[in-house]
Chain A
Amino acid sequence: MSEKGIKNFNKRIEAIEEILAAAAGGDFAAQIDIDMDAADLLTSVETGINLLIADLGEEVQESRKRADDLAEKLELIEKQRKAIEELSTPIIKIWDEVLVLPLIGALDTRRSQKLTESLLTEIALTQSKIAILDITGVPGVDSAVANHLLKTVSSVKLLGAHCVVTGIRPEVAQTIVHLGVDLSDVETLSNLSEGLKWAFRHLKLMAEARKS
């Protein structure tokens, strides 16, 4: 039979099972004791298993390290994202009752919600009548971004202030029209200096109306 010439067959098979069970449980440190002086048919199997488990142990360690590195990197990215978020949402009070919000970087739902929140809070706090949203630094203005802007503008209006969007580049104008986004309810101007002129004209008109 196959057991012929193999010493302690049952005991050794048991040892192999134990080692495999340990490996399955994540422990790759244990190895099968091999008596090289009394090599027989089973010895090569035992050696093979030992090598395999050693390799597996190394692999697992390697991949754990990679996972740790990845988690560390993700954490870093998250930290940087937060830093960027904070850095890129300054609200500048450029004149009495005039706020400028220069938007830089991609506008997703989350960021535009945060922006709207800070802008509206600032308007309420300073009782500013005009907010200029400059989108020169926003790449890839698509229908989603345009809709975010529309929402911001609508909520500024509800507060009783006015909103003008500046920094519409020619290609942005093209995209907006191609996408069929309706910005007709939004005051849009080509650049920030036009926006400022608009704001001053607006304030002057209001002041004049107040006098009369």
Chain B
Amino acid sequence: MLESNSIPILKLKEFLIVSIQTDLHDRMAEQLQYDILNRISETSAKGVLIDISALEMVDSFIGRTLADTAKMAATLDADIVIVGMNPAVAITLVELGLSLEGVYTALNLDEGYELLQKITTADGEDIQNPDSEDSVVEDMNEPGSD
């Protein structure tokens, strides 16, 4: 395995794009969290797309790290959308007892991008709160309160 611990974070306009292409070990996941938060802070990005379609396994540590990163990003005024989770990973995560509540998800990068545009351009304070029930945006793609 390569010693390099960093996963590239690309900037596209006001968004960041991360594609995880390798099996994450714990320190790598923590490093990624740190890097994403730093890039948000540097670039004032409004949203982050994290593509996990290549991840064959998400255990409780990686799951929690992803969910925490989303919460931390929200305090920096950025939304995170997790994109392309494998069916087997989703089933296993739920059986493990993790449903990543409050985290936005999308089927693919296209959908994730559209979702980010919607949640970051929608007016009002509840953009930051995935559990709010009022806005049209939340009604459409909000993860927590369906």
Contact = CB atoms under 8 A, between A and B. Distances in A.
A and B touch in the complex (CB under 8 A): yes
Given A159-B105, A186-B146, A124 B87 contact: yes
B105 A124 contact: no
Contacts of B139: 205
B93 A158 contact: yes
Contacts of B86: 124
A160 interface: yes
A116 B145 contact: no
Given A157-B143, A158-B99, A185-B144, A127 B91 contact: no
Which 8 residue pairs of A and B lie closest in terms of their CB atoms, listed nearest first? Answer: A120-B87, A158-B90, A160-B106, A160-B105, A160-B107, A155-B90, A154-B99, A155-B94
A162 B106 CA distance: 10
Interface in A183-212: 185-187, 202, 205-206, 209-210
B37 interface: no
A114 to B, nearest CB: 11
B85 interface: yes
Contacts of B106: 160
Interface of A: 113, 116-117, 120-121, 123-124, 127, 129, 151, 153-163, 185-187, 202, 205-206, 209-210
Given A117-B87, A155-B90, A185-B145, A205 B112 contact: no
Residue of B94, B95, B105 with most chain A CB atoms under a 10 A cut-off:
B94
A158 B107 contact: no
B33 interface: no
Interface of B: 82-87, 89-91, 93-95, 99-100, 105-108, 111-112, 114, 118, 136-137, 139-141, 143-146
Contacts of B118: 209
B117 to A, nearest CB: 9
Nearest to A163: B146
Contacts of A162: 141, 146
A209 B137 contact: yes
A187 B98 CA distance: 20
B146 A158 contact: no
A186 to B, nearest CB: 7
Given A160-B112, A185-B144, A151 B94 contact: yes
Contacts of A127: 107-108, 111
21 contacts: A117-B87, A120-B90, A124-B86, A153-B146, A154-B94, A155-B90, A155-B94, A157-B99, A157-B143, A158-B90, A158-B99, A160-B106, A160-B112, A185-B144, A186-B146, A187-B146, A206-B140, A206-B141, A209-B114, A209-B118, A209-B137
Contact of B100 (A121, A153, A158, A202): A158
B136 A159 contact: no
Nearest to B104: A160
B91 A116 contact: yes
B138 to A, nearest CB: 11
